[in-house]
């Protein structure tokens, strides 16, 4: 499973876009990129995932670099409810560590009113 590197913390103002970066330079060709977030006193929740192409859903967008060694989670308009720890992770679809999600320290996102 690929090691991921994220900034320890980021800050944003409410209603502004937020770009959360993640490096996964050892990712292999069949590894999926997943993002999760953990709100205070809750379990992690799924945000978005992708393989090669950029992805959009109701929560966020995921931009994946052409070489797949990095990705960026985009929150288009941050709200106070988006304040959380955001985890970038990768997961294998075959071979050893099949299906395993390895979570790093994540990025603490603070949203200011």
Partner 1 sequence: EAQVTQNPRYLITVTGKKLTVTCSQNMNHEYMSWYRQDPGLGLRQIYYSMNVEVTDKGDVPEGYKVSRKEKRNFPLILESPSPNQTSLYFCASRMGAGLYEQYFGPGTRLTVT
- Residues in contact with partner 1 by the rule CB under 8 A: 30, 32, 34, 36, 42-46, 49, 51, 87, 91-94, 98-106
Instruction: State which residue, 9 or 98, has the beta carbon closest to partner 1.
Output: 98
Instruction: State which residue, 14 or 55, has the beta carbon closest to partner 1.
Output: 55
At its nearest, how many Å lie between partner 1 and the CB of residue 13? 27
At its nearest, how many Å lie between partner 1 and the CB of residue 38? 8
Q: Using an 8 Å Cβ cutoff, are 88 and 27 in contact?
A: no
At its nearest, how many Å lie between partner 1 and the CB of residue 17? 23
Instruction: State which residue, 31 or 82, has the beta carbon closest to partner 1.
Output: 31
Residue 90 φ/ψ region, left for φ over 0, alpha for ψ in the -120 to 50 degree band, beta for the rest: beta
Q: What is the C-alpha separation between 6 and 15, in angstroms, rounded?
A: 23
Two structure tokens written together for 22:
């993640």
Instruction: State which residue, 14 or 101, has the beta carbon closest to partner 1.
Output: 101
Q: What is the C-alpha separation between 68 and 31, in angstroms, rounded?
A: 10
Cα–Cα nearest to 91, from 79, 101, 82, 106: 101
């Amino acid at each position: 499973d690929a090691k991921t590197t994220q900034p320890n913390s980021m800050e944003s103002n409410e209603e502004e876009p937020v770009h959360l970066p993640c490096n996964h330079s050892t990712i292999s060709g069949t590894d999926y990129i997943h993002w999760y977030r953990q709100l205070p006193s809750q379990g992690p929740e799924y945000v978005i995932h992708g393989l090669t192409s950029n992805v959009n859903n109701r929560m966020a967008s995921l931009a994946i670099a052409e070489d797949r060694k990095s990705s960026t989670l985009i929150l288009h308009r941050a709200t106070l409810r988006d304040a959380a720890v955001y985890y970038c992770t990768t997961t294998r679809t075959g071979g050893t560590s099949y299906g395993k999600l390895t979570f790093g320290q994540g990025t603490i996102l603070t949203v200011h009113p």
